[in-house]
Amino acid sequence: MIDMAVVELSRLQFALTALYHFLFVPLTLGLSFILVIMESVYVITDRPIWRDVTRFWGKLFGINFVLGVATGLTMEFEFGTNWAYYSHYVGDIFGAPLAIEGLMAFFLEATFVGLMFFGWDRLSKRGHLLTTFMVALGSNLSALWILVANGWMQHPAGAVFNPETMRMEVSNFKDVIFNPVAQAKFVHTVSAGYVCASLFVLGVSAYYLLRGRHLELAKRSFTVAAAFGLASSLSVVVLGDESGYAVSDNQKMKMAAMEAMWETEKAPAGLTLVGLPSNEKHQTAYEIQVPYVLGLIATRSLSGEVTGIIPLVERAEQRMRTGIVAYDAVEKLKVNRNDLAAREAWERNKDDLGYALLLKRFVADPRQADAATITKAAWTTVPNVPALFWMFRVMAGLGFFFIAFFATAFAFSVRRRFNARWFLRAAVLVMPLPWIAIEVGWLVAELGRQPWAVDGVLPTFLAASSLTVPQIWTTIIGFTLLYGTMAVIEVKLMLATIRKGPEVYEGHEGAPVRERAPASTFTAIPAE
């Protein structure tokens, strides 16, 4: 039988690694394009202050970039060490985007990142701007291919199971790349990274303004961050809606769990603002609904239905029964590849094989499962509804908050009002919020897919490697200590760099060093 302790600990290990890695990725994605914006202004205006600004934020980008790379490599190795059967079963599809990411995106940014840091005095202004842009492009292309791989786990398009090799194989790589879930996931995720970086720049700039230090840099950085952050926060909400639409179309159980919708409501369904969902009672108490909104958002129509959890469980039972037929056909084809009856049965029922595999948690052979076992297994397709319900609302609520916050910051920057101390203090205090929203969003995406490693194809409990509990605990403790140490070092380096502030360099053509504005004034300086 399956050792669920090994499975759950393997999930915990990967979750800890992924959550830690995702502390650095959003900031890398966003800061890279903020650097492009700032350096573009320098190239256009030829004002040395913008060179100082770009180089300062570039230092912070570099510290964060190193940690992001280091933690990402660990995750890639974990697919082989902790998820060996997953890698064997779907490696032909899942491995391709990751290989392309390494060959195209990672090497692109790795090649140009050195030129970006050490080429200021060796490249022309336009040449250096090109290197900065290539670093930003490489970082975002890395996100694209990784999210294509993850999107395939959410919606396995462009692949089929081969009963002769007992593996998933690519049937149409174009469908893998242009998977609607992957594409929506990519634009939503990178936009969230832009929000994260914008609020980071805004918060550090606000800190300088409060202290009356580095005012030229702070005011210009504040203006860039406010504009970029406002555009990004608006896109996060719009693209989040698109991502939600893709979920409602391809991951109905995740959508139903996020909304704690147990029964299918008459179209268009209402949106539950708050409530107390219960996995045991299969109901949501004290719910407050806004009529029609969920149906309009999820189906973009007045007639489309959002299927409830209980009907989806009943549908899972039906798919398990047809999946058992597919499983039986596979077993017969193992013995005789020329069994035409088994081949025909396989072709009719192959889409439901994954549901039969869910039964392996309870019986060694799915064909021996009785009605009670099938019903029990069908209910395992329901994720943790209360957790998903509330985490989604935290993420969505913060998304709308960021729009209001950046709109306020943009209004202050347009009016050249940089002395609103209440807002500056707020900008420093809310700096952690984008990371909270992003981490919660990742949990919604991954927990909402359970019990599947690949939705509808491979159960999570079958994907894990044959390890022991002590082995996994050893790696969890080791990774926690290692990453904890790295986190402390990274935070200290970031804080030290921020405390030191920007350096003043000579102008590009050898102009003399510029004098700083007095530290005690809030005199408005145009953000050219």
> How high is the pLDDT of residue 446?
92
pLDDT in tens, 5-43: 999 999 999 999 988 888 899 999 999 999 999 999 999
> How high is the pLDDT of residue 526?
43
Structure token digits, residue 248: 């409602």
> How high is the pLDDT of residue 52?
93
> How high is the pLDDT of residue 300?
83
* Contacts for 499 with CB less than 8 Å, ≥ 6 apart: none
> How high is the pLDDT of residue 1?
61
Higher pLDDT, 145 or 301: 145
Name the amino acid, one letter, at 97: P
Structure token digits, residue 392: 């989604």
**CA 508, 513, 514, 520 torsion: positive or negative?**
positive
Average pLDDT rounded to a whole number, residues 395-412? 96
CA 522 to chain centre: 39
Average pLDDT rounded to a whole number, residues 153-165? 90
> How high is the pLDDT of residue 527?
42
Higher pLDDT, 525 or 203: 203
> How high is the pLDDT of residue 379?
95
Domain ranges in the chain?
1-154+470-477
Checking if the pLDDT of 514 tops 70, the result is no
Burial 282-308 (b: 16+ CB within 10 A, else e): bebeebebeeeebbebbbeeeeebbbb
Checking if the pLDDT of 524 tops 50, the result is no
pLDDT in tens, 334-347: 889 889 999 999 99
pLDDT in tens, 178-230: 999 998 899 999 999 999 999 999 999 999 999 999 999 999 999 999 999 99
pLDDT in tens, 420-455: 999 999 999 999 999 999 999 999 999 999 999 999
Most confident stretch, 61-70, 209-218, 514-523: 209-218
Checking if the pLDDT of 370 tops 70, the result is yes
Q: What is the DSSP letter of 382?
A: S
User: What is this structure's pTM?
Assistant: 0.90
